[in-house]
Amino acid sequence: MKIPFLGHRHDKPGAPDPEGIAELLSECELLRSQASREGVRLDDTAASLEALDQLVPRWRDDEEVLPWLGNDAGLYLGTVVVRTVPGAAWDLRPDGQPVIRLASGREFDVVASGHEWASSGVPELSQLYAEVAEA
């Protein structure tokens, strides 16, 4: 998922608005809708990632929904990381790809991870969160 227009939202020359980016990336409407239909409340916590991992993956049969749900799963994972891991923040690669950057400088492509989870369930979102939180 590349978001080139985010590079044009500036508070300072050359710097995207971090709060605006975080708000936009946390929407994840399709994932939130799917989860809600299954009785799962996404409250931006690690526990909600575990609940997502337990859902029956009905979306895997819908090739139109699968890539969008993968994007949302990755963005939701990133949202949980940013809101719960000290020093974690959204960053945009030069090509517009949103990634998570930790205080240590390590970068995680959570969108790619979301696509893997949506298509195969492996690795689980909660497992990815644990790995990022420990890094």
CA atoms within 13 A on the CB side of 62: 11
Which residues constitute the domain of residue 128? 4-134
Q: What is the dihedral of CA 9, 10, 15, 21, to 10 degrees?
A: -40
Element of type H or E holding 15: strand 15-16
Read off the tokens for 86: 């000290």
Q: How many separate domains does the chain show?
A: 1
Cα 46 to chain centroid distance, Å, stands at 12
pLDDT score for 15: 61
Check pLDDT > 50 for residue 3.
no
Read off the tokens for 123: 């690795």
Least confident of 2-11, 43-52, 56-65, 73-82: 2-11
Q: What is the mean pLDDT of residues 96-116?
A: 95
